């Protein structure tokens, strides 16, 4: 088949107020986090996302209903057994009417189930196929869960206090970052007007996100190391500080910020970035002493009007309470809103689908 079947070629503009991706049809064979997060971001922007689930459903349904909802709001669900010939035929029918297919499974499963561009182009040669894997679509099935990849790429080694063990953040940084990267790749190929394969791996994404750390090592021989309280490798002071009550994140990146901070905090000296970098311990001692005279929240309220980057360390409940506009309702679930704000577009936050909800004869056609 050359090109898309009728109705899937040109992207429709959608109705007034529709999202910028209205008319884009995306199939997802996703599991857990990276793939579903990518397609949820696209759904929030107006794409029609159909989640193709195995007979038992995406394994994330077994975690909790709220977990599943956090990654799958607004999608359709079709239950297919891709190991069966009739359901493979149904997949090919869906492919013929879609713009993209995004999958995150281990590479051997992706190849075995025929979920690559080479396998599907006969049904739609303009289909964009996106594969999210641990180490690459052609690099084997070594286990590659989020935390494992963070350990393998140097992220964990850079996290935590120097005197303690390596650490990990309290959320799935590799999966989320890979999902966003995959969404960019998917959209880039759609914009190009041609079909093809997009290959995104968690390993490569995390190495990419170590950009300036990697460059310092590759070009200047600077081996990255952990610094106390999450301190930045270049800027001083730029880290977490204790205060009279609570902790404050302070991020002084240039001399103007330092001048404003120093005047407010009563710290003398160290006027240039070079001074502060070469006398790091003296600067940190002076700043720590000054910040101990007031609370983190108070320092935030004092420094922000001066343009100095500073924030009291908040818990997630505190952060959500401070940003009520970022909490939306999707059916029975309260969730974090899309971070992408486009003038004239308000995402339609619909609930996550029931397993196979759109298989039945009364379901809306794709």
Q: Which residue do the tokens 């004092």 mark?
A: 302
User: Counting Cβ atoms within 10 Å, is residue 318 exposed (0-12), middle (13-18) or buried (19+)?
Assistant: exposed
Q: Which residue do the tokens 């349904």 mark?
A: 61
Render pLDDT for 231-256 as a digit per residue (tens, 0 to 9).
Answer: 998 899 999 999 999 999 999 999 99
The DSSP string of 149-207 is HHHHTTTGGGSS-TTS-----SS-HHHHHHHHHHHHHHHHHHHHT--EEEEEEHHHHHH
Q: What is the mean pLDDT of residues 175-198?
A: 98
Confidence of residue 131 (pLDDT cuts 50, 70, 90): very high
Confidence of residue 144 (pLDDT cuts 50, 70, 90): confident
Q: What is the largest CA-CA distance in the chain?
A: 76
Q: Which residue do the tokens 């075995």 mark?
A: 112
Measure the CA–CA gap between 85 and 259, rounded to whole angstroms: 70
Domain residue extents for the chain: 25-209, 228-242+247-312
pLDDT of residue 364: 53
Tokens of 102: 């995004």
Q: Which residue has the higher pLDDT, 94 or 9?
A: 94
Tokens of 85: 């010939």
Tokens of 98: 């879609």
Comparing 2-16, 85-99, 253-267, which segment has the lowest mean pLDDT?
2-16
pLDDT of residue 66: 97
Q: What is the mean pLDDT of residues 161-171?
A: 93
Selection from 241, 242, 207 nearest residue 224 by Cα: 207
Say yes or no to pLDDT of 282 above 50: yes
Measure the CA–CA gap between 72 and 49, rounded to whole angstroms: 9
Q: Which fold has domain 228-242+247-312?
A: formyl-coa transferase, domain 3 (3.30.1540)
Confidence of residue 196 (pLDDT cuts 50, 70, 90): very high
Tokens of 110: 């992706």
Measure the CA–CA gap between 240 and 222, rounded to whole angstroms: 23
Give the DSSP letter of residue 38. H
The DSSP string of 69-101 is HHHHTT-EEEE--TTSHHHHHHHHHHHHT-SEE
pLDDT of residue 143: 86
The DSSP string of 212-239 is HHHHHHHHH-------GGG--SS-SSEE
Task: Indicate the Cα dihedral angle 114, 35, 136, 154, nearest 10°.
Answer: -160
pLDDT of residue 18: 80
Q: Which residue has the higher pLDDT, 167 or 16?
A: 167
Q: What is the mean pLDDT of residues 217-231?
A: 94
Confidence of residue 275 (pLDDT cuts 50, 70, 90): very high
What pairs with residue 242 in β-bridges?
Answer: 247
Q: Which fold has domain 25-209?
A: Rossmann fold (3.40.50)
Measure the CA–CA gap between 61 and 355, rounded to whole angstroms: 9
Q: Are 100 and 48 in contact (CB under 8 A)?
A: no
Render pLDDT for 1-36 as a digit per residue (tens, 0 to 9).
Answer: 444 443 344 444 334 358 999 999 999 999 999 999
Tell me how far CA of residue 52 lies from CA of 125, 175, 341, 354, in angstroms. Answer: 21, 20, 28, 12
Tell me how far CA of residue 276 lies from CA of 22, 208, 234, 285, in angstroms. Answer: 51, 28, 10, 12
Measure the CA–CA gap between 229 and 281, rounded to whole angstroms: 13
């Amino acid at each position: 088949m050359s090109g898309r079947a009728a109705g899937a070629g040109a992207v429709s503009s959608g109705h007034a107020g529709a999202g910028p991706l209205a008319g884009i049809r995306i199939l997802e064979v996703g599991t857990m986090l990276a793939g579903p997060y990518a397609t949820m971001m696209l759904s929030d922007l107006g794409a029609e996302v159909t989640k193709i689930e195995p007979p038992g459903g995406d394994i994330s349904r077994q975690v909790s209903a709220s977990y599943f909802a956090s990654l799958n709001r607004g999608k359709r669900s079709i239950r297919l057994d891709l190991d069966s010939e009739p359901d493979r035929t149904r997949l090919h029918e869906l492919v013929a009417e879609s713009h993209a297919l995004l999958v995150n499974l281990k590479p051997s499963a992706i190849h075995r189930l025929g979920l690559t561009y080479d396998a599907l182009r006969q049904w739609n040669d303009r289909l964009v196929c996106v594969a999210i894997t641990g180490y690459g679509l052609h690099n084997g099935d070594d286990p590659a869960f989020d935390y494992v990849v963070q350990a393998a790429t140097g992220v964990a080694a850079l996290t935590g206090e120097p005197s303690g063990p390596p650490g990990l953040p309290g959320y799935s940084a590799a999966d989320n970052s890979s999902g966003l990267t995959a969404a960019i790749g998917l959209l880039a190929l759609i914009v190009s007007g041609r079909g093809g394969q997009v290959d995104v791996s968690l390993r490569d994404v995390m190495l990419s996100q170590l950009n300036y750390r990697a460059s310092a090592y590759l070009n200047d021989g600077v081996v990255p190391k952990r610094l106390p309280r999450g301190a930045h490798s270049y800027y001083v002071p730029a880290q977490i500080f204790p205060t009279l009550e609570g902790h404050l994140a302070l991020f002084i990146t240039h001399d103007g910020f330092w001048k404003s901070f120093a005047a407010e905090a009563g710290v003398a000296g160290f006027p240039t970035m070079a001074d502060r970098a070469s006398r790091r311990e003296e600067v940190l001692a002076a700043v720590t002493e000054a910040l101990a005279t007031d609370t983190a929240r108070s320092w935030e309220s004092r420094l922000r009007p001066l343009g100095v980057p500073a924030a009291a360390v908040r818990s997630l409940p505190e952060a959500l309470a401070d940003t009520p506009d970022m909490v939306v309702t999707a059916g029975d679930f309260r969730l974090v809103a899309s971070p992408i704000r486009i003038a004239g577009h308000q995402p339609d936050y619909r609930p996550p689908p029931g397993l196979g909800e759109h298989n039945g004869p009364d379901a809306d056609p794709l």
